[in-house]
């Protein structure tokens, strides 16, 4: 069975019925800030692995009706949840099979799910003049020591590959991208906690992050990496 089949046959939807839509506005806010900080003002945007389409709908609210958006996902359950708008089109299918190109191509929490992630990244390069990646940093000292977080992310969330900041950036460079900007995002601090353990970790993460962000993420985890590349 291929890794892709869990998105096509409803297995992923059974474990993640909201398709993480509750995090869409938070992610879109960080994406918009990254683009503005680097003076990138697209007129066309695509998202590869758009899920239920929440990020594109939030970006459409922020960037206005003159920007055209296209969302791709191989999961029929996800596309069925998408809200169509005049300037947003959603496609059930593989973005790499579509010849269209865009000013900005988004891959938000995507390539850790893909079996041949290097092949995917090579193919994605032609989709956009700029690319925005959001990459969960699943590897940390605490996640390796506890083991269960890594297994949970594989079994329930479909993460086939785990990254640190350094290996994520090296992966993108190996695939031919030039890194223009990157920053941590902290769902563990900014978003509501999903367990009592996550609530307890907020204090230590916040304190150590204020002292040394890279060290905090390397030891305690709880962050993702947002990257602008071309």
User: What is the C-alpha to C-alpha distance for residues 206 and 211, in angstroms, rounded to an integer?
Assistant: 9
Which of 34, 45, 47 is closest to 74 using CA atoms?
Answer: 47
Looking at residue 191, its pLDDT comes to 80
* Domain parsing of the chain, residue ranges: 5-137+158-188+223-229
Question: pTM for the whole thing?
Answer: 0.93
Looking at residue 43, its pLDDT comes to 98
Distances (CA, A) of 120 to 53, 95, 137, 171: 21, 10, 19, 12
Residue ranges in the chain modelled with pLDDT below 50: none
Beta-sheet pairing, 179-185 with 224-229:
antiparallel
Look at the block and give the residue holding tokens 């040394």. Answer: 212
The DSSP call for residue 147 is: -
Could you tell me which CATH class the domain 5-137+158-188+223-229 is placed in?
alpha beta
Distances (CA, A) of 148 to 17, 34, 95, 154, 193: 22, 32, 33, 10, 18
Residues in the chain: 230
């Amino acid at each position: 069975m291929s890794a892709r089949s869990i998105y096509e046959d409803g297995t992923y939807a059974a474990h993640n019925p909201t398709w993480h839509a509750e995090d869409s506005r938070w992610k879109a806010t960080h994406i918009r800030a990254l683009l503005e900080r680097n003076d990138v003002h697209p007129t066309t945007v695509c998202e590869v692995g758009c899920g239920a389409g929440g990020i594109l709908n939030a970006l459409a609210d922020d960037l206005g009706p003159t920007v055209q958006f296209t969302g791709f996902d191989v999961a029929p359950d996800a596309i069925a949840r998408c809200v169509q708008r005049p300037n947003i089109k959603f496609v059930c299918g593989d973005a790499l099979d579509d010849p269209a190109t865009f000013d900005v191509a988004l891959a938000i929490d995507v390539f850790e799910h893909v079996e041949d992630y290097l092949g995917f990244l090579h193919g994605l390069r032609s989709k956009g003049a700029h690319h925005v990646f959001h990459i969960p940093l699943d590897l940390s000292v605490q996640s390796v020591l506890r083991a269960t977080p890594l297994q949970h992310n594989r079994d329930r969330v479909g993460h086939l590959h785990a990254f640190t900041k350094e290996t994520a950036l090296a992966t993108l460079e190996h695939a031919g991208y030039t890194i223009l900007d990157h920053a941590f995002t902290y769902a563990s601090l900014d978003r509501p906690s999903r367990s009592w353990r996550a609530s307890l970790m907020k204090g230590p993460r916040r304190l150590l992050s204020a002292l040394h962000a890279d060290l905090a993420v390397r030891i305690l985890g709880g962050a993702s990496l947002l990257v602008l590349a071309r």
